[in-house]
Structure 1
């Protein structure tokens, strides 16, 4: 049995440990290689007007749709549409995303 152990290589390198945590979003994973932003998590809690301005700065062709509380939306995907979900005081309550 000792002969089998001697014949096997024991110089395997340990797996590298990442210095950073896992990405929290698709945009974070792509980093600077991302040609277009697809979500704006930093806008949660901001006013509707601030959110519209920021999204239009970064995506001028955006078709912004404001979604009031308890409203229904369609399930279709449109690459130019960005929905902004707001509360009764017009504060953004969910991450605006393309779709």
Structure 2
């Protein structure tokens, strides 16, 4: 089952849930939030400055979007 992983980190297959959004890097936080909500409507999307400290707890309902001072996404948001 080594081929079950896609480049984005989501398990391949029918009904697989997306767990990261590398395609939104460079977009504004609002554009990124829209794309994330399209794939995970129940997500709690948190926009966070890139240099912020965040808790290390894992929350399957949360997606953190790290942005720079220009409100551009700096790294791929992911569930957690």
- Confirm or deny a common fold (TM above 0.5): yes
TM-score range, shorter chain: 0.7 to 0.9
Choose between structure 1 and 2: higher strand proportion. Answer: 2
1:57 deviates by: 1.1
Partner in structure 1 of residue 29 of structure 2 = 48
Structure 2 unaligned runs (5+)?
Answer: none
TM-score, scaled relative to structure 1: 0.69
**1:41-83 deviations in whole A, cap 9, x for unaligned?**
1011111111000111111110011111321100000000000
TM-score, scaled relative to structure 2: 0.84
Structure 1 unaligned runs (5+)?
Answer: 1-21
* RMSD of Structure 2 on Structure 1 (CA): 1.7
